[in-house]
Amino acid sequence: MGSLCSRQRHYNQADSEENAQTAEIERRIEQETKAEKHIQKLLLLGAGDSGKSTIFKQIKLLFQSGFDEAELKGYIPVIHANVYQTIKILHDGAKELAQTEEDSLKYVISDENKENGEKLAEIGARFDYPCLTKELAQDIEALWRDNAIQETYSRGNELQVPDCTQYLMENLQRLSDTNYVPTKEDVLYARVRTTGVVEIQFSPVGQKKRSGEVYRLFDVGGQRNERRKWIHLFEGVTAVIFCVAISEYDRTLFEDDNKNRMVETKELFEWVLKQPCFEKTAFMLFLNKFDLFEKKVLQVPLNVCEWYKDYQPVSTGKQEIEHAYEFVKKKFEELYFQSTAPNCVDRVFKIYRTTALDQKLIKKTFKLVDETLRRRNLFEAGLL
Ligand SMILES: Nc1nc2c(ncn2[C@@H]2O[C@H](COP(=O)(O)OP(=O)(O)OP(=O)(O)O)[C@@H](O)[C@H]2O)c(=O)[nH]1
Ligand SMILES: [Mg+2]
């Protein structure tokens, strides 16, 4: 009997320990769920090349520890690949224009650069690129300075020439140093098409002075074949940051040479706005690549784009830039209100003019985004 009692006591003790453990696990799950609820989900969306990953990199630089030396060095093959691919595009583009254009002579590569050009184009077609030596950098520089390549570059919008071309070509000597370590700026200029999804958690304002809000930011690939992955991220999104490369109104898609990039972006934005999951989601529209837009607008009229065909230039210089920017902004505003059902009208919609390479501007923009979202949270909690 005595031994039965003691066994009973033993069982009771084991039970209560187990119960305590279960309670502790449940408490932790509850705590974590609460913490998760506190984390606000931000989604970077937009077509390919619109600057999503550049914004993502800026967030890492601004609100996290940035890139350590190993990460910076990890960008060397990417940057070198960008150089080889770019010079190949320009070389092949010049050859094509020299055959097809009426004023074909200006696209003919000079005799002294012909052989060099063929060699570089062959390298650019490889899967494995060689190390960028000083000699190769010099060869690339010589080809870049060739009049035919410069003429071709001026038609870069027709050839999928990357936006970072000028930057890369002006820095070839540094990029080919044996001890080259990419700078923060090099990393921001580097172009890698995103495949899949990457995420980062951060609190704006800075390491020491935090705003209290915790955000989880998701970056996705924007090209057509990547977009089917987006839908898995659409639940519980606090805000969509929709990036538009406003300088690309005279370019066609990388994945479809017959489709204007602005028209694609318009259709994509419409589709995103109509997603039932986003009825209460805030929309932050980043009209990005303003630095390129302000240069282009004075040379290429906005109305070359079918969506902007009702645009009329009114002035020159700074005034014209502002006029063109306001026109584009209005187009997106109209699109937003047309594509927003009456039951969604109270969702937040803000437009920001951005240049993703400009760290100060991105910091300022994120402070504004943070303020807007905090104000909305207070309003929803009935505190405002
Ligand atoms: N000049 C300039 N270049 C920019 C700006 N934003 C991005 N870029 C460059 O544009 C290229 C494409 O930017 P990404 O951030 O990779 O574009 P993405 O939207 O992530 O593209 P996907 O991953 O294909 O969807 C990179 O070389 C960037 O350095 C900008 O505001 N101004
Ligand atoms: Mg990307």
Please answer whether residues 133 and 97 qualify as being in contact, where contact means their C-beta atoms are separated by less than 8 angstroms. Answer: no
Please name every residue paired with 41 in a beta bridge, in sequence order, or none if there are none: 216
Residue 187 is assigned to a ligand binding site: no
> In 3D, which of 282, 374, 376, 365 has the Cα closest to residue 59?
365
* Same domain? 94 vs 243: no
Please report whether residue 186 resides in a domain.
no
Q: Is 265 in the pocket of ligand 1 (CB under 6 A)?
A: no
| Residue type, position 264, single letter | E
Closest ligand to 286 CA?
Answer: 1
Testing ligand 1's pocket by substitution, the residue of 44, 49, 247, 265 carrying the most ligand atoms inside 8 A of its CB is 49
Percent of the chain beyond pLDDT 70? 92
Read off the CATH number of the domain in which 307 is found: 3.40.50.300
In a shared domain, residues 268 and 364: yes
Is 53 annotated among the ligand-binding residues?
A: yes
Q: Is residue 20 part of a domain?
A: no
Edge-to-edge strands, sheet with 39-45 = 197-202, 214-220, 39-45, 239-245, 282-288, 349-353
Position 272 confidence tier, pLDDT thresholds 50, 70, 90? very high
Find out whether 346 is annotated in a ligand binding site.
no
- Confirm whether residue 242 is marked as ligand binding: no
Ligand 1: which of 43, 53, 185 to mutate, most ligand atoms within 8 Å of CB? 53
pLDDT attached to residue 168? 98
In 104-203, at which residue ranges do the beta strands (DSSP E only) sit?
197-202
Judge whether residue 205 has pLDDT over 70: no
Residue 169 lies in a domain: yes
Domain span including residue 82: 76-181
* Beta carbon of 255 within 6 Å of any ligand 1 atom: no
Range in 113-127, 279-293, 367-381 with the lowest mean pLDDT: 367-381
State the pLDDT at residue 188. Answer: 98
Measured CA to CA in angstroms, residue 382 lies from 205, 306, 375, 378 at distances of 25, 45, 11, 6
Give domain status of residue 237, yes or no: yes
Q: 157 and 243 share a domain?
A: no
Per-residue pLDDT at 358: 98
- Residue range 351-364: average pLDDT? 97
Q: Which of 44, 43, 63, 52 is nearest to 288 (CA)?
A: 52
Span 168-174, mean pLDDT?
A: 98
Strand 239-245, strand 214-220: pairing:
unpaired
The residue whose CA has the least distance to atom 23 of ligand 1 is 194
In a shared domain, residues 156 and 82: yes
Amino acid identity at 59: I
Whether 266 and 169 map to the same domain: the answer is: no
The pLDDT confidence band at residue 344, using thresholds 50, 70 and 90, is confident
- Domain end among 120, 149, 181: 181
Mean pLDDT lowest for which of 12-21, 167-176, 271-280?
12-21
221 annotated as belonging to a binding site for a ligand: yes
Same domain, 201 and 177: no
- For the record, the structure tokens of 242 come out as 């929709």
Task: Flag whether pLDDT at 187 surpasses 50.
Answer: yes
Q: What percent of the chain has pLDDT over 90?
A: 80
Residue in 121, 91, 122 with CA at minimum distance from that of residue 107: 91
Question: Where a domain ends, among 127, 150, 181?
Answer: 181
Which two three-digit tokens encode residue 263? Answer: 């028209």
Which one of 29-33, 281-285, 371-375 scores highest in mean pLDDT?
A: 281-285
Give ∠ CA 65-53-321 in degrees, rounded to 5: 115
CB of 291 sitting under 6 A from ligand 1: yes
Domain termination site, one of 181, 212, 245: 181
Q: Is the pLDDT of residue 376 over 90?
A: no
For residues 243 and 290, is the Cβ–Cβ distance under 8 A?
no
On whether residue 21 sits in a domain, the answer given is: no
pLDDT tens track for 2-29: 444 455 555 566 677 778 877 777 776 6
Mean pLDDT of all residues in 322-327: 98
pLDDT digits (tens, 9 = 90+) for 206-235: 555 556 789 999 999 999 999 999 999 999
Better-predicted residue by pLDDT, 4 or 188:
188
More confident of the two residues 205 and 303: 303
Confidence of residue 93 (pLDDT cuts 50, 70, 90): very high
Q: For helices 52-63 and 359-380, give the axis angle rounded to 10 degrees.
A: 90
* pLDDT at residue number 4: 47
On whether both 91 and 218 belong to a single domain, the answer is no
Q: Are residues 359 and 262 in the same domain?
A: yes
pLDDT value at 146 more than 90 = yes
Record the tokens describing residue 95, joined without a space: 């050859």
* 50 occurs within a structural domain: yes
pLDDT at 38: 80
Bridge partners of 216, per DSSP, are 41, 201
269, 330: one domain:
yes
- Return the structure tokens found at 11: 């069982």
Model pTM? 0.89
The predicted-structure confidence for 115-140, as pLDDT tens digits, reads as follows 999 999 999 999 899 999 999 999 99
**Shortest-distance Cα residue to atom 14 of ligand 1:** 51
- The total domain count for the chain is 2
Q: Most distant CA pair in the chain: distance in Å?
A: 109
Q: How far is the CA of 243 from the centre of ligand 1 (A)?
A: 10
Residue 18 maps to a domain? no
Structure tokens belonging to residue 306: 């079918």
- pLDDT at residue 63 is higher than 60: yes
Same domain, 349 and 261: yes
What CATH number should be reported for the domain holding residue 142? 1.10.400.10
Domain match, 279 and 313 both: yes
| pLDDT mean across residues, the chain | 91
For residues 290-315, give the mean pLDDT.
95
Ligand 1 close to Cβ of residue 194 (< 6 A)? yes
334 within 8 A of 266, measured Cβ to Cβ: no
Whether residues 93 and 242 fall in one domain: no
Which residues have their alpha-adjacent CB atom under 5 A from ion ligand 2? 52-53, 194
pLDDT of residue 2: 46
